[in-house]
Structure 1
Amino acid sequence: MRTVEFKHARGPERLRIFAIGDVHGRLDLLQEMHRRIQAENEKSPPFDWAIVHLGDYVDRGPDSKGVLDLLVSAQRKTHRMLALAGNHDIGFLEFLATGAPDGIFAHNGGRQTALSYGISIDFGDLRSIAGGRDALLRAVPSGHVEFLRGLKRSMAFGDFFFCHAGIRPGVDLDYQDPEDLVWIRQQFLADSRLYSKVVIHGHTPVTGIEVRPNRINLDTGAVFSGRLSAIAIDAGEKWFLEVM
């Protein structure tokens, strides 16, 4: 199998790719990153471009609704706005479908997501959870649900493979388990082998962009650190962006 390491990896010709790490309700930072990307393109105009958002748009931060509003609107305006599923996005859908009191939404920032839609839920109270779920079903626009349901688990451009969490080492990229793509952590992070493509991911917060020969982690903990990070790939040229 042909393998590639980051320093030699190339993106597709005549298509500049940007990838943005976990947002978690930080609409302000996502807006600023989009402005930064626009400035990059104005400074050095590419033949064409696209943005890959790596998932986890909701939970923990103050404006999950605003983040989804922005992404839904952006996708309606241009095909260049691409988005992948994160485990928190899937957890939001699962809560809307089942109202489960013990899922990721209930225990990892769903309260803030609900508040962004004007709904207050006490996740220590089963009646509040049930009532809150019913209220959310009325409050969440159908466009948000359709957007979340339509999120892909991965995509590839040139020598790069994009997903939320990572891949299962030893498994061909074409046969990855969708659950691994949004949930895997230690088995992937500890693996130093080169793959057929360099993996661009988020999911595991780090203090700064993590650059490895086989993977790049762009999750710089926007909701905790106030820093949102991205990579730009233009054929053989690669550089990083950060907004605060």
Structure 2
Amino acid sequence: MRSYAIGDIHGHLDQLLAAHDRIAADRRATGDDTAPVVHVGDLVDRGPDCRGVVEHLRAGIDSGENWVVLKGNHDRMFLGFLDDLKHHDPGLRSDLGWLHPRLGGGATLESYGVREAASRPLAPVHAEAVELVPAEHRAFIEALPTFYRRGEVVFVHAGIRPGIAVEDQTETDLLWIREPFLSDRSDHGALVVHGHTAIDMATHYGNRLNLDSGVAYGGPLTAVVIEDRTAHALTPQGRMLLTPML
């Protein structure tokens, strides 16, 4: 059973389009145009064209593309701010806010036309954001699922709490967890494909596959093809096997 997947995007529309092109090339080479493309979340924050990413994915799904888009923690923080200027996501450290430079919310609002969001008083910034972010974008992000299961693979944004069925996980764990998930080497009953924790390159750990290759920090955006539990990164030269670590 084949699936395609793309890691955390963070407003990099140009790299998202290139990743879709690599997937299209693999489809042509294999003659398979039925497998879904799963995006593991974090559409927004830090990058230059967050609005463009949301619109591209929303419009593609509306036009019939076989795409699955999952909700990431940055997507939830964006929604939380639009709903309430004082919102603080329960997964976020208490000393940080969504507009802090480390989180990159200002870049998201900039892409929607809200200028200098991180350096102006919060109330007018919030009012402009509510006015300028299209209702269809808010509705699209609000409706994003938090996991997707296909065959022997479960796709989530951050990971899972070991020993708990994915259907019973809290949304905050699915969007924010690092430990004890990252250090757990047990079989989860399915290959867990995720992002959220930036690393140098996509890595297959045997029981999980991390796709976040750090596009938010100048790295590439990874696209992979997964067949059962075997994964290949898609490069301009074709497939590259991601060998599971022992």
- Cα 1:236/1:205, change in 2 over 3 Å: closer
Equivalent residue letter for 1:185:
R
Aligned residues with identical type, % of pairs: 37
Q: Which has the higher contact order (CA 8 A, sep 6+)?
A: 1
Q: Say if 2:112 is the partner of 1:117.
A: yes
- Give the counterpart of 1:78 among 33, 56, 64: 64
Superposition pairs for residues 231-242 of structure 1, below 5 Å?
A: 231-235=224-228, 238-242=231-235
- Deviation, 1:81, is 1.1
Q: What stretches of structure 2 of length at least 5 have no aligned partner?
A: 90-96, 237-246
- Give the counterpart of 2:196 among 185, 195, 203: 203
Cross-structure match for 1:145: 138
State the TM-score, normalized to the length of structure 1. 0.88
State the SS of the aligned residue for 2:78: helix
Residue deviations 1:209-242, cap 9 Å, x none?
1210100000001121330012202356531125
Superposition pairs for residues 24-63 of structure 1, below 5 Å?
A: 24-46=10-32, 48-63=34-49
Cross-structure match for 1:65: 51
State the SS of the aligned residue for 2:99: helix
Equivalent residue letter for 1:91:
M
Query: How far apart in 2 are the matches of 1:137 and 1:47?
Result: 38
Q: What stretches of structure 1 of length at least 5 have no aligned partner?
A: 1-11
Query: How far apart in 2 are the matches of 1:236 and 1:22?
Result: 20
- Deviation, 1:79, is 4.9
Residue deviations 1:188-216, cap 9 Å, x none?
00111111101000000000112101000
- Deviation, 1:133, is 1.1
Query: How far apart in 2 are the matches of 1:132 and 1:194?
Result: 46
